């Protein structure tokens, strides 16, 4: 009996090794991932943000049925039910403050708070600018278009972020050490708080930047998803996929990304893949 089990085990490990070497498809951290479609027929979903408390995914999409081009919507990540937010002009940016449990939506005439009960967005005072992107780290940071300036909304008032007065930025995010990452058409940069200077991280063509529930940063370009490890000071290419519009990370660490016409979850399978190493590590 023991001998038979040993043989079975031996055969199994040989077979699994063969499978490992033939691993294709989406590989993240040496694990094969399946693409699980959350929603299809969504035109150009941008600016994904998760309300971790309610497990809702907010995003904007392109709509051609009225004069406003962009609309805000959200999907229940458990049931995949979709709802469209009412009463917002050109809903484009999305961010969630998990401390105060506030969902912020950015339109073409300022910032709104979302109300789950009425399904409506309520404009808040402080700005009437065209909001491009938003990020919460204690306060609400946001960029405006076409000016490409970075603002912070605090105590009901907005002001330019003092450290970024001289630079243009389309996307902004802060890490757990209050370093400010920002991107513009020249690439990705970080303002290092402790050293009070800006350094260049690479000519990445960012279309989204986000943090997971622990404050670790991730970003996407049209062709890949990356993580920023602040401790080891490295940017890692997690996976290369064509046609990415945005990325966000679920509570349990699953990656969700949007493509030209759908929203997809990368779900880890049980398969480990060492043969297809596609990681590239850039040192900051």
Ligand X SMILES: *[C@@H]1O[C@H](CO)[C@@H](O)[C@H](O)[C@H]1NC(C)=O
Query: Which ranges of 47-91 does DSSP label H, i.e. alpha helix?
Result: none
Q: How many C-beta atoms surround the C-beta of residue 74 within 10 A?
A: 24
Measured CA distances, 254 to 36, 77, 159 (Å): 11, 12, 35
How far apart are the C-alpha atoms of 73 and 148, rounded to whole Å?
24
**Whose Cβ is closer to ligand X: residue 44's or residue 184's?**
184
Beta strands in 193-261 (DSSP E): 197-202, 208-211, 217-221, 224-229, 234-240, 246-249, 255-258
**Whose Cβ is closer to ligand X: residue 24's or residue 196's?**
196
Q: Closest residue to ligand X, Cβ-based?
A: 167
| Least separation in angstroms between CB 12 and ligand X | 54
Residues numbered 179-208 forming contacts with ligand X, rule: CB under 6 A: 184-186, 189, 198
| Least separation in angstroms between CB 228 and ligand X | 17
State both tokens at 251.
Answer: 């509570």
For ligand X, which residue of 68, 69, 167, 240 counts as binding (CB under 6 A)?
167
| Least separation in angstroms between CB 185 and ligand X | 5
**Whose Cβ is closer to ligand X: residue 29's or residue 193's?**
193
Are 149 and 162 a contacting pair, CB within 8 Å? no
Residues numbered 73-132 forming contacts with ligand X, rule: CB under 6 A: none
Count of residues in contact with ligand X, rule CB under 6 A: 7
**Whose Cβ is closer to ligand X: residue 104's or residue 151's?**
151
What residues line the site for ligand X (CB under 6 A)?
Answer: 167-168, 184-186, 189, 198
């Amino acid at each position: 009996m023991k001998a038979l089990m040993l043989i079975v085990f031996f055969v199994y490990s040989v077979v699994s090794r063969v499978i490992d070497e033939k691993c294709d498809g989406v590989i993240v951290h040496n694990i094969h991932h399946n693409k699980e479609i959350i929603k299809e027929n969504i035109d150009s979903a941008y600016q994904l943000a998760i309300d971790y408390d309610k497990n809702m995914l907010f995003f904007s999409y392109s709509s051609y049925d009225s004069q406003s081009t962009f609309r805000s919507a959200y999907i229940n990540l458990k049931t995949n039910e979709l709802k469209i937010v009412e009463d917002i002009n050109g809903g484009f940016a999305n961010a969630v403050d998990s401390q105060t449990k506030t969902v912020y939506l950015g339109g073409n005439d300022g910032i709104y708070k979302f109300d789950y009960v009425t399904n409506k967005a309520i404009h808040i005072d402080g700005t009437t600018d065209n909001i491009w992107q938003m990020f919460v780290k204690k306060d609400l940071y946001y960029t405006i278009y076409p000016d490409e300036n970075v603002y912070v909304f605090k105590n009901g008032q907005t002001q330019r972020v003092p450290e970024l007065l001289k630079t243009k930025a389309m996307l902004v995010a802060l890490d757990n050490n209050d370093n400010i990452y920002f991107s513009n058409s020249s690439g990705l940069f970080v303002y290092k708080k402790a050293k009070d200077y800006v350094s260049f991280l690479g000519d990445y063509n960012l279309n989204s930047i986000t943090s997971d529930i622990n404050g670790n940063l991730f970003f996407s370009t049209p062709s890949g998803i990356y993580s920023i490890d602040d401790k080891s000071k490295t940017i890692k290419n997690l996976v290369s996929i064509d046609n990415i519009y945005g990325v966000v990370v679920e509570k349990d660490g699953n990656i969700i990304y949007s493509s030209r016409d759908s929203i997809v979850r990368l779900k880890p399978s049980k398969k480990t893949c060492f043969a297809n190493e596609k990681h590239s590590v850039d040192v900051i």
